[in-house]
Amino acid sequence: MVLIYLITKDSSEAREIGRTLIQERLANSANVIPSIQTLRWSGEEVINTTETILLIKTKSLLYSRIEKRVTELLDNHKPNIFSMPITQINHIYLDVLRDGVIKA
Which own/partner pairs from 62-67 qualify as long-range (CB within 8 Å, at least 24 positions apart)? 62/26, 62/27, 62/101, 62/102, 62/104, 63/2, 63/4, 65/26, 66/4, 66/21, 66/26, 66/27
Domain contains 79: yes
Residue 46 falls in which region: left (phi positive, over 0), alpha (psi -120 to 50) or beta: beta
Confidence of residue 104 (pLDDT cuts 50, 70, 90): confident
Angstrom distance (rounded) from CA 86 to CA 94: 10
Domain contains 85: yes
Domain contains 6: yes
Residue from 70, 96, 65 nearest 81 by CA: 70
The tally of domains found in the chain comes to 1
Please check the confidence at residue 75 and state whether its pLDDT lies above 90. no
Q: What is the CATH number of the domain that holds 66?
A: 3.30.70.120
pTM of the full predicted structure? 0.90
Confidence of residue 101 (pLDDT cuts 50, 70, 90): very high
Find the domain containing 24 and state its range: 2-99
| pLDDT score of 87 | 92
Domain contains 104: no
- Coarse DSSP helix, strand, coil percentages of the chain, rounded to the nearest 5 percent: 35, 40, 25
Collapsing DSSP to helix, strand or coil, 21 comes out as: helix
The tens digit of pLDDT for each residue in 10-64 reads: 999 999 999 999 999 999 999 999 999 999 999 999 999 999 999 999 999 999 9
Please check the confidence at residue 103 and state whether its pLDDT lies above 90. no
